[in-house]
Amino acid sequence: MPAKKTRGVLLPAEHGSWGMIAEPLLLGLLIGPTLGGFCLAVVSFCGFLLRTPALRLLRARRVRHPDPEGQRVRRFVFITGLTGAIFLFIALLWVPPTAFLPFLYAAPLVMWTLWKQDQGHTRTLAPELAAAIALASPTAAIVIAGGHARGLAWLLAGLLALKSVSAILFVRCQIRRYTGGVHRRDEMIFLHAAIPSALLVLEAPPGAVVLFLLLALRAGVWSFLPVKSPKHVGWTEIAVSLLFVSWLARAV
């Protein structure tokens, strides 16, 4: 299947969604690099890959219309689901039960997000924010599987969720500036500035506070510069996310 046809049929078409799943897996494995953590990362990634084809199959079944790509989609779902199940079985043998709690807590957000996306609300703000918060859960699971304290695991997941939410608001602002839509730049900058202040009050690690201060500075400066293209915004955000994760792993 050609690459362009694969995107949106088997794989997510949004650049941002790939960054949102890569960040928690990378951060978790940097903090707790264990076999059990790796298995949980594979399970999480397989679940991420199943979203697009599974929704496609559900829609085709509901409208009772044959999907020309149905056979390939079902084969992809079977292979990906089987891979996830194998690594889940291995994880059950290696990680403590508490490592699965983050997935349990994130399940309501995941189900609500999938329901909204199945209804066609793929680009609205609320499902994007819910998905961003839910996708931070693998970080906590992998860190707990690595033998670290649950307090550290939830701290990292919370910081990553904050980063993802702020990134979504920044990217939406930049794209709407490019297209000439209502961008709400002032509100976006205010929220970026409020995060490090809140982290100071909550006595978060100094390195994390500095990270969010830099993100707030970036949001304040870049949101007044010309936007080259939506694709440029997306790839730049992925690069910023990788830098954020690598710094945060050293800061805590």
Check whether 210 has a pLDDT greater than 50. Answer: yes
Cα–Cα distance measured from residue 138 to residue 163, given in angstroms and rounded to the nearest whole number:
15
Token pair of 244 as six digits: 């954020």
Least confident piece of the model among 5-14, 27-36, 110-119, 232-241: 5-14
Cα–Cα distance measured from residue 142 to residue 127, given in angstroms and rounded to the nearest whole number:
24
230: Cβ–Cβ under 8 A, 6 or more apart, which residues?
A: 174, 175, 178
pLDDT, residue 165, reads 93
pLDDT, residue 36, reads 93
Categorize the per-residue pLDDT at 240 as very low, low, confident or very high, splitting at 50, 70 and 90. Answer: very high
Token pair of 213 as six digits: 């201060």
Please report, in angstroms and rounded to a whole number, the separation of the first and last CA atoms in the chain.
43
Alpha helices in 95-149 (DSSP H): 101-118, 125-134, 137-145
Tell me the pLDDT of the chain averaged across its residues: 88
215 to 18, 95, 98, 125: CA distances (angstroms): 20, 34, 32, 20
Assess contact for 86 and 80: CB atoms under 8 A.
no
pLDDT, tens only, 65-116: 666 666 788 888 899 999 999 999 999 999 999 999 999 999 999 999 888 8
pLDDT, tens only, 36-65: 999 999 999 999 998 888 887 777 666 666
Assess contact for 43 and 84: CB atoms under 8 A.
yes
Domain borders along the chain are 3-251
